[in-house]
A and B are shown apart, each in its own frame.
Chain A
Amino acid sequence: MNLSKVFTKAIISSPERQLEADADLAVVKQVQAGDVAAFDQLIVKYRERVFGVVYNLTANREDASDLTQDAFIKAFQSINRFQGSCSFFTWLYRIAVNTTLSHLRKNRLRSFFSLEKLQEDGVNTQVLEQLTDKKGADRDTYLQELKEKLNEAMQKLSIPHRTVITLFEIDGLSHSEIAEVMGCSEGTVRSRLHYAKQFLQGELGKYLRS
């Protein structure tokens, strides 16, 4: 699947996103007019989201950092070509995904996972408690192992399935928004999502029966 076309359509189905798109367009106009410093606003605003998408596709922190920086640099270099036909974040998404896909094609055999530090203050502690009864260091070790298994399982998915599950479960987009972004029907999104969940359930089943 050509993911370069995946994120071409704007995710502007909700009013919040429309407001976000309008605000981004105003900043882009400033940058195109010559106010280069205005581009930093866009970097600060979107770096975490772009990093999250790239990290979930690569499962490697260092690669995700480099690829996110490359995506922003490419966006800055071609900012004059942005005409506003889609939202800025969609356009930035496309650059980031294309950069990541090129990297993945070149490094197909490489599978090194570097996991992010899990910030427990933002995590559902109830879920963590349900995952294991272990306490202290054993719990941390168990959680670390679980994260590795999850990343391994996600890397076994194909890129379209991985993209769908990332956008839905991690980024929180709706089925219609994902369909608009990926250029497919909602039925396709649902079927891919269902298959991806079934696959991950099979891969991680024993870890979920604790």
Chain B
Amino acid sequence: MPELNQRPKVTVEDLLHLKRAERPDVEFWTKFERELRQKQLTALMEKRPWWQELPRFLTRRAYLPVGASAVLAFTLVSVKYYAPAPLAQVELSPTAVPVAPGRDLPAPVAPVSSPLVNRSESAVAQSEDDSAASSAQTASQAPDEAVELMPLLVAPRAAEKPSARLLAANLSRMEPVDADFSSRLSTPAREQITAAAEELASIPTNTTRRNRLLARYEGRQLNPEPAPPEVVRQRLARRLGDIESDRGSRLAREIDTFSTPMPQIVALRF
């Protein structure tokens, strides 16, 4: 009989190999199969939550219509939010249409008593006379008639101020060129124009500045027409002459500065 100390050692590996023999008996597997069947039937009976059905739904080749629907929805949403909105049709209200006296607007107009009309009425009442009152009455007439706002505001003054008269004439001239201009012209812009017309009227006669201001509101070019080449050359020559004379005088001054006695300067330095 071998002695105890000569017996080969059992290693950890041997012990672990013993675990291979650890297996359940047949009864265990019978019970295992029965329980597995019950669990399978239970799993078939129970209703799976909708989020667990999604992977199965997607594996049934439903991804193509789902993807197409998503792309279509995204396109519609992006078009809705990012497409340029159609220009809102501005109501052609009596207050919105500046028309020269006596002109008829082609578009029908709804009767409106807008603040502008009221303001114009008040402005007219402050300064003016029957022509304004009749225009205000005209402003409250039937929808088909265009209320002449600008004439309402300008006409009373036009009789008095040539600048305002000119402005009104230009506006009426612009109307056939751009039929929508009057509709696009917003109330604040019109107010600005009237204010500018008043300002023009108050400015003392100064042809040059007045012409410039008028040009600004009439859309004329501020810059005078380009001068002929000879004129340009004369101007340039004059300007260059000025520059040279300035430079010469500066140079002369510097020379005078340096013509002072050097020893003094040297002595100061050293």
Contact = CB atoms under 8 A, between A and B. Distances in A.
B15 A69 contact: no
Contact of A118 (B7, B8, B13, B22): B22
Contact of A80 (B14, B28, B39, B59): B59
B21 A208 contact: no
Contacts of A78: 55
A61 B28 CA distance: 10
A141 to B, nearest CB: 16
A68 interface: yes
Contact of B15 (A51, A119, A150): A150
Contact of B43 (A77, A81, A116, A197): A77
Nearest to A120: B21
A121 to B, nearest CB: 8
A208 B15 CA distance: 9
Question: B interface, by DSSP: helix, strand, loop or mixed?
Answer: helix
B177 to A, nearest CB: 71
Contacts of A101: none
Nearest to A55: B22
Number of chain B interface residues as a range: 20 to 34
B80 interface: no
Interface string A52-78: 100110000100010011101100111
Interface of A: 43, 47-48, 51-52, 55-56, 61, 65, 68-70, 72-73, 76-78, 80-81, 115-120, 122-124, 127-128, 130-131, 133, 146-147, 150, 165, 169-170, 172, 197, 200-201, 204, 208-210
Given A115-B22, A117-B25, A123-B21, A204 B59 contact: no
A126 to B, nearest CB: 9
Most chain A CB within a 10 A radius of its CB, from B10, B20, B59:
B10
Interface string B14-43: 111111111111001100100110011001
Contacts of B24: 51, 61, 116-117
10 contacts: A69-B36, A69-B39, A73-B36, A118-B18, A120-B21, A127-B10, A170-B17, A172-B20, A200-B15, A208-B15
Contacts of B62: none
